[in-house]
A and B are shown apart, each in its own frame.
Chain A
Amino acid sequence: MILNAAIARAGAEGLLGEFELELFVGAGAYICGEETALIESLEGKRGIVRAKPPLPAVAGLHGQPTLVHNVITLCAVPWIVANGGEAYSRIGIGASTGTMPFQLSGNVKYGGLVEVPFGMTINQLLETFSGGTASGRPIKAVQIGGPLGAYLPPQLFDTPLTYEALAGVGAGIGHGGIIVFDDTTDLAEQARYAFTFCEHESCGKCTPCRIGSVRGGELIDEIRDQGAEPERITLLHDLCNTMRDASLCQMGGMTPIPVESALKHFPRDFGLEEI
């Protein structure tokens, strides 16, 4: 409604030039954020992932060349057109140029959207904007980049929010979501949630994601209920490797990230000794 009204107004004011904007409302599946599933959905089909190649830029919507961009990317375009690419590349740091809208949520006093240049550390962002935890308790972890993002402990909060630095600690910037958890959080439960999420949102096309997400959840239940026997932990790692390397898209491919990062940084929550 809001977007359609905005599009109508922009059109009426002549701001769109020769462009036509049309809003297509999906049915709510997370997987339809994946570009090829999004195209299937736009074509009125089930939202399942297409194998690539061909890339959508070669054969996408109705088989025609199609560019798929995030809203964040499109929003950066007018500024770049107005001020030039060089000016844009001076914002941010290293290869992470420009700004990123971070979404602070979870256990924070002040949640919301803040757009800052790439390069602030996690600590700086939290200290500047979050006002600490809503519960008043110490922070135990943040999850960065969405439900398939890594869980990081406070020891890593001096990591700059850039593509390169986060990759260096096994994390990614993803969509810029930052969820804060206090010290009452059980990270094994969060790892379980990653599989639950994948199980619910998997399109079901490829086997590592379709069956792996279910088996992963069951395995973590076993680890939590019956103990972190070495065979169970080995199987969990094997499953994570299989999902990462063999999944058709990043839905199954990235589900191991929250699981493995929780296991790495918070082994005690799984009943394991610190490594």
Chain B
Amino acid sequence: MRLADEDFGTPATNAREDVNLEINGEAVSVPAGTSIMRAALSSGIPIPKLCATDSIDAFGSCRMCLVQIEGRNGFVSSCTEPVAEGLKVTTQNEALAKLRRSVMELYISDHPLDCLTCADNGDCELQDVAGQVGLREVRYAGGASHAEAETDESNPYFSYDPSKCIVCSRCVRACEEVQGTFALTIDGRGFASRVATGAENFFDSECVSCGACVQACPTATLMEKSVIAHGVPDRSIDTTCAYCGVGCSFKAEMKGDQVIRMVPAKDGKANHGHSCVKGRFAWGVRQPPGTHHRTHDPR
């Protein structure tokens, strides 16, 4: 069971006037400026995606969301292409299926195949999309990889494992667009590209541990240590963070009666899916280990 909110890929627009188009022969009407991806996903038409998530602007790097538009040559990334009146869009045909599978084959040629023991097992977008596009084999024989890249465990709340990174830049963009801290960048170029901070590791960097990057990461590259320790949560309770007066809405993601992680609610009126380190990670104070209950016995 997935606890994540529905993700329409790109942010909503504020436009008032609607645009009419056809997606796979279905009439769709959405506000002007909406991406083809959002138009499709919000109409129940699936489009695979990896680098797009609706908390940040479209980026167009993963190439999984390619579609075809009647009268236009080639393939268009649906996340970066806005709707236009009368467009006729095809999201699925043999050519698109083959392209997506081939791109996924490239991704997996540089990704560990340890899904069964991975902390994100069952909650991983790369895994989902590999299934969605029907990847059945990886024909590339070994070769260069990031399998040996070292995990950065310096942050007390989450780890960064570059060997699982698909370089979608969602973390970098979340840090810029959601949190506004600009602590992350992509270091290197081409195949060597990896997420990096301005310092030796996350802990010594400008990072404020807001967790926006961890939330944005589609793989187990940036992962809450509590999930690594306990597994993916199986139910969620809506709650409000009690740390300060802002009143951020959270989903307390649980296993049994144990909180596994606190995830800021996308529809939270005060925080719109954002959080600070206290609500996101420093909730251990609310649930001390053993029988010691701080609110009852404030030692």
Contacts from A to B (Cβ < 8 Å): 29, 46, 48, 51-53, 199-215, 218-219, 222, 231, 235, 238-239, 241-242, 245-248
Does B226 sit at the interface, judged by CB under 8 A? no
**A207 with B106: in contact, given A215-B140, A215-B143 (CB under 8 Å)?**
yes
Q: Which of A207, A242, A248 has the most CB of B within 10 A?
A: A207
List the 4 closest pairs (A to B, CB-CB), nearest first: A51-B60, A204-B193, A202-B190, A51-B80
Known A206-B63, A245-B75; judge A211-B109 contact (CB<8 A).
yes
Cross-chain contact of B193 among A52, A200, A208, A210 (Cβ < 8 A) = A210
- Choose among A199, A202, A212 the residue that contacts B106 (Cβ–Cβ < 8 A): A212
Other CB < 8 Å A-B pairs besides A200-B190, A246-B75, A246-B103, 16 of them? A53-B80, A53-B82, A203-B189, A205-B169, A206-B61, A206-B62, A208-B106, A212-B106, A214-B143, A215-B140, A218-B143, A222-B141, A238-B102, A239-B102, A245-B75, A246-B102
Q: Nearest chain A CB to B63's CB is how many angstroms away?
A: 4
Q: How far is the CB of A47 from chain B (nearest CB, A)?
A: 8
Verify A246–B190 contact, CB threshold 8 A.
no
Q: Whose C-beta in chain A lies nearest to the C-beta of B107?
A: A207
21 contacts between A and B (CB under 8 A): A46-B189, A48-B186, A51-B77, A199-B191, A202-B190, A203-B189, A204-B167, A205-B61, A207-B61, A207-B62, A207-B107, A207-B166, A208-B103, A209-B190, A210-B167, A210-B190, A214-B143, A218-B143, A219-B140, A242-B102, A245-B75
Closest chain A residue, CB of each to CB of B108: A211
Does B25 lie at the interface of the complex (its beta carbon under 8 Å from any beta carbon of A)? no
Question: What residues of B have a CB within 8 angstroms of the CB of A231 in the complex?
Answer: 139
Closest-CB distance, B261 to chain A (whole angstroms): 29
Residues A211 and B189 in contact, CB atoms below 8 Å apart: no
Q: Which residues of A are found within 8 Å of B61, using beta-carbon distances? A: 51, 205-207, 248
Other-chain contact of B190, A52, A204, A208, A247 (Cβ < 8 Å):
A204
Complex interface residues of chain B between 45 and 93 (CB less than 8 A to chain A): 58-63, 66, 74-75, 77, 80-82
| B192 at the binding interface (Cβ < 8 Å) | yes
Q: Which residues of B are found within 8 Å of A207, using beta-carbon distances?
A: 61-63, 103, 106-107, 166-167
* Given A207-B63, A219-B140, A202:B189 Cβ within 8 A: yes
Closest CB in chain A relative to B43 CB, distance in Å:
22
Determine chain A's interface SS by DSSP, over half rule.
helix
Q: Which residue of A lies closest to B100 (CB)?
A: A246
A204-B143 contact given A53-B82, A239-B102, A245-B75, CB 8 Å threshold: no
- What's the nearest-Cβ distance from chain B to residue A265, in Å? 25
Residues of B within 8 A of A46 (CB): 185-186, 189
Specify which of B82, B185, B191 is in contact with A211 (CB 8 Å cutoff): B191
Pairwise interchain contact A247-B141, C-beta atoms closer than 8 A: no
B168: nearest chain-A partner, CB-CB:
A207
Q: Report which B residues bind A (CB closer than 8 A).
A: 58-63, 66, 74-75, 77, 80-82, 95, 99, 102-103, 106-107, 109-110, 139-141, 143-144, 166-167, 169, 185-186, 188-193
A211 touches B80 (CB 8 A): no
Q: Which residues of B contact A214 (CB under 8 A)?
A: 143-144, 190-191
Question: Which of B110, B166, B190 is within 8 Å of A213, CB to CB?
Answer: B190
| A239: chain B residues within 8 A (beta carbon) | 102
The answer for the CA separation of A206 and B103 in the assembled complex, in Å, is 10
Residues of A within 8 A of B107 (CB): 207, 211
Binding site secondary structure of chain B: loop
**Residue numbers in B under 8 Å from A213 (CB-CB):** 190-191
Looking across the interface, which residue of chain B has its beta carbon closest to that of A209?
B190
B residues in contact with A238, CB < 8 Å: 102
Kindly state the separation between the CA atoms of A215 and B106 in the bound complex, as whole angstroms.
8
Chain B residue nearest in CB terms to A242: B102
Bound-state CA distance A235–B140 (Å) is: 8
Cα A248 to Cα B64 with chains together (Å): 11
Nearest B-chain residue to A222, judged by Cβ: B141
User: Does B103 contact A199, Cβ atoms closer than 8 Å?
Assistant: no
Chain A: minimal CB distance from B32 (Å) = 14
Shortest A140–chain B CB gap in Å is 30
Q: For B77, B109, B143, which residue has the most chain A Cβ atoms within 10 angstroms?
A: B143
For the complex, give the distance between the alpha carbons of A211 and B146 in Å.
Answer: 11
Docked Cα-Cα span, A219 to B192, in Å, equals: 19
- Nearest CB of B to A217, in Å: 9
Question: Which chain A positions have C-beta within 8 A of B95?
Answer: 245
Give Cα A202–Cα B80 distance, bound, in whole angstroms. 21
B75 / chain A contacts, CB cutoff of 8 Å: 245-246
Residue of A nearest to B99 (CB): A246
Q: Roughly how many angstroms separate A72 CA and B247 CA in the complex, as a whole number?
A: 60
8 Å CB contact of A210 from B80, B140, B191: B191
Which residues of A are found within 8 Å of B186, using beta-carbon distances?
A: 46, 48, 204
Cβ-defined partner of B191 (8 Å) among A202, A205, A222: A202
